[in-house]
Amino acid sequence: MDIVSERPDRRPNRIAVLTVHTSPLAQPGTGDAGGMNVYVLQTAEQLAQRGTEVEIFTRATSSDLPPVQEAAPGVLVRNVVAGPFEGLDKHDLPTQLCPFTAEVLRQEARRVPGYYDLVHSHYWLSGQVGWLARDRWRVPLVHTAHTLAAVKNAALADGDSPEPVTREIGEKQVIAEADRLTANTAREARQLVDLYGALPDRIDIVPPGADLTRYRPGDRAAARAELGLSADEEIVAFVGRIQPLKAPDVLVRAVAEAIRRRPGRKLRALIVGGPSGTGLERPDSLIELADRLGISDQVTFLPPQPADRLVLVYRAANLVAVPSYNESFGLVALEAQAAGTPVLAAAVGGLGTAVRHEHSGLLVAGHRIPDWAGALEYLLDDPARLRLMGERAVAHAADFSWAHTAEKLLASYTAALSGSGRAPAILGENQARSRALWRRRTGVLR
Ligand code: UDP
């Protein structure tokens, strides 16, 4: 009996999620681990709670890791051995896609046929693996790019190196092959169409979320005491990976400029996160910068914090700054607002959705230091307005929950399963057989 054709709106029972280059169990905020890791884990938990089991495949980066770990009820993480555990640069990962794919396919081959109903790949490297898995398993491929090389290369920070052309080629291939694509925002959907030739009717807009149970407003003085921060300073926090793209240097320079304009101003930059990528990869370079600007006593560094400590950072800060050159969404901006802290953000990418200008924070065009210093003054010098923005920020962030993201993902999966994608491209003599199989599975053939 063909169950699928009887239930065209069905949800998947079990999916394979691919995240080759970084584990959802890694501490975000340093190295290659950031918002995507949070996205994968949070949505997996939400999907499992809604009856869709999730198996996440990621590359093992330590010999200590067990082959499989339970991340949450209904969520398994499979640590796939592919290449050396340590020392493999992200740019060299394409060399390990073959062993990674082989192991993913072997895992499935040990199960009953039809074990996974769908494959969801995150970032283009995983898309390359998902493309083959989709063809082999005859299930739909849903792909989320998270970031796009063409977008990143169009707005590079000083000293940042462009993404290699091989990445753009790989992205284009995956975007052409995927049955459905999810985009964080309508803007990203347009970029997929305009820059990568994606078909608009294959794109679902799925906004990411924040953990609203964890990121809630709380007592600022208590948070500062807990973190060892002074009670009577203005604190502007930067949270995230320390890399040129994220531009923590813009915050340090803007704080220096605001202090230069009003000497004696008790203003502190709090930088939370660890090194990633090239250029500004060492927090040392920020320490040196603060030194050169004569404000080393007014800059505090904290290593990457787990979520239960990070909420204290958001509560402790008067403002959170997100000066990135590009940001496909910017989870930090959402989390800060959920905790009641307004956000001063660059007017780029998804930050225009994550932050409501003059309502829950401020969006600044460009990265000119006088503009950023002026924006700091504008917000900090009117505490009543800042408080109001903090209240509105909580309400704004409430629209973005991981539960909502998971529901949107399930709708995308349902569309993929009901054939709103297209038949997998199988070549040669298998083609007729695979098309018939696809028709049987989905009831639809395009
Ligand atoms: N993060 C964290 N601890 C830190 C710094 C960051 O857990 O010390 C998390 C943060 O909560 C957020 C994610 O890392 O969920 C960063 O996501 P964002 O979208 O802001 O940036 P990305 O890293 O994806 O570029």
The CATH homologous superfamily for domain 220-398 is: Glycogen Phosphorylase B; (3.40.50.2000)
Mean pLDDT of the chain: 91
Q: Report the nearest atom of ligand 1 relative to the CA of 332.
A: 20
Indicate if ligand 1 lies below 6 Å from the C-beta of 31: no
Please provide the DSSP assignment of 57-102 as one string: EEE---TTS-SEEEEETTEEEEEE--S-SS---GGGGGGGHHHHHH
* Whether 88 contacts 96, CB under 8 Å: yes
The confidence score (pLDDT) of residue 283 equals: 73
Task: Please indicate whether residue 332, judged by its CB atom, sits closer than 6 Å to ligand 1.
Answer: yes
Task: Please tell me whether 147 is known to bind a ligand.
Answer: yes
The pLDDT confidence band at residue 95, using thresholds 50, 70 and 90, is very high
Tell me: pLDDT of 383 over 80: yes
pLDDT tier at 6 (50, 70, 90 boundaries)?
Answer: very low
pTM of the entire predicted model:
0.92
Look up residue 289 and give its amino acid: L
- Any idea where the domains of the chain sit in the sequence? 14-209+405-419, 220-398
111 is in an annotated binding site: no
Q: Where does the pLDDT of residue 400 fall: very low under 50, low under 70, confident under 90, or very high at 90 and above?
A: very high
Using one digit for the tens of pLDDT, what is the confidence trace for 163-185?
999 999 999 999 999 999 999 99
pLDDT of residue 442: 43
| Calpha distance 219→234 (Å, rounded) | 15
Q: Is 274 close to ligand 1, i.e. is its CB under 6 Å away?
A: no
* The predicted structure's pLDDT at residue 192: 98
* pLDDT in the model for residue 10: 85
Known binder of ligand: residue 167?
A: yes
End-to-end CA distance of the chain: 22
35 touches 18 (CB < 8 A): no
Per the CB < 8 A criterion, the answer to whether 353 and 333 are in contact is no
Contact 143, 130 (CB under 8 A): yes
Measure the CA–CA gap between 223 and 340, rounded to whole angstroms.
13
- Owner of token pair 């569309």: 415
Location of structure tokens 């307004």: 342
Cα–Cα distance, 118 to 130 (Å, whole number): 10
Q: Is the minimum distance from the CB of 272 to ligand 1 under 6 angstroms? A: yes
3-class DSSP assignment, residue 364 = strand
Strands 75-80 and 68-72: antiparallel
The closest of 444, 389, 394 to 420, measured between CA atoms, is 444
Nearest CA to ligand 1 atom 7: 28
Share of the chain above pLDDT 90, in %: 84
Angle, CA 316 vertex, CA 314 and CA 319 arms, to 5°? 65
Query: 14-209+405-419 maps to which CATH number?
Result: 3.40.50.2000
* Ligand 1 geometric centre to CA of 29 (Å): 5
**Residue 106: strand, helix, or coil:** helix
Q: Which tokens go with 208?
A: 């990411």
Ligand 1 atom nearest to 272, measured from its CA = 8
How much is the ipTM here? 0.99
pLDDT band per the 50, 70, 90 thresholds, residue 8: low
35 marked among binding-site residues: yes
Q: Is the pLDDT at 245 greater than 50, yes or no?
A: yes
Phi, psi of 157 (to 5 degrees): -75, 155
29 lines ligand 1 (CB under 6 A): yes
Grouping H, G, I as helix, E, B as strand and the rest as coil, residue 122 is strand
Query: Cα 112 vs. chain centroid, distance in angstroms?
Result: 33
Angle at CA of residue 168, ends 163 and 169, nearest 5°: 140
- How many other C-beta atoms are found inside a 10 Å radius of the C-beta of residue 40? 29
Using alpha carbons, select from 220, 247, 221, 268 the residue that is nearest to residue 326: 247
Q: What is the pLDDT of residue 420?
A: 60
Instruction: Give residues with Cβ within 8 angstroms of 104, minimum separation 6.
Output: 16, 18, 57, 80, 129, 133
